[in-house]
Amino acid sequence: MSQADARRLQKTRLRNELRARRRALDAPLRQRAAQAAHARLMASPEVFAARHIAAYWAHGNELSVAGALYEKVSQGAHVYLPRVNASDRLDFVDAGALDALEPGAFGIMEPTGPACDLSRIEIVLVPGLGFDRRGHRLGSGRGYYDRALAGVTHALVIGVGYDWQLIDDELPEEAHDRPMDIIATPTRWHVPDQASSLHTSKE
């Protein structure tokens, strides 16, 4: 078996394990985790000050960041959510007041309107099935976020997940993977070694 095949098998096994664990989460636990994540994100000086923030709308049992997004909108900030375009890539679209989202690809709620210029984005909140302590992310396997963020070097990219989604094992990495600058869970920030100069403090 080649190294590439071994990495694919390892990722498939991890995805199945992490998806099963996420499916098993009950509604009260998800709600408590979302409330804690909301408080943690908004306590970050970088997130609080951002005027242009790209994020995601939770699907299934993903950790919801909706509370933080509504608060950013109430501050007058622009929130951009992903939409799968005709080329099967992600655009980020101004979601306005978050009250006009429509079901899109894979049943995920998406905004309408033109794609935004990514150069204005200051913060990106990224979901994942798992994150390792080096900042590497395990996604759904479709590569949408890796492609969308390939040229985003000016923004702070924050991986968001439940506490157990920050795993001790090192995830298999590919050349195209985009590591997170920092990882937020309901109870802590984790700053990977290569991002230790970021201002958001570890807890």
Confidence tier at 200 by pLDDT (50, 70, 90): very low
Kindly state the greatest CA–CA separation across the chain. Answer: 53
**Strand partners for 53:** 79, 123
Closest CA to 161 of 87, 61, 28, 70: 61
pLDDT in tens, 72-96: 999 999 999 999 999 999 999 999 9
pLDDT in tens, 177-198: 788 999 999 999 999 975 544 4
Rounded CA-CA distance 123/154 in Å is 9
Q: Report which DSSP code applies to 101.
A: -
What percent of the chain has a predicted confidence (pLDDT) above 70? Answer: 94
Q: What domains can you pick out in the chain, each with its CATH number?
A: 3-195 (3.40.50.10420)
Q: Whole-prediction pTM value?
A: 0.91
What are the respective helix, strand and coil percentages of the chain, to the nearest 5? Answer: 35, 20, 45
pLDDT in tens, 151-164: 788 999 999 999 99
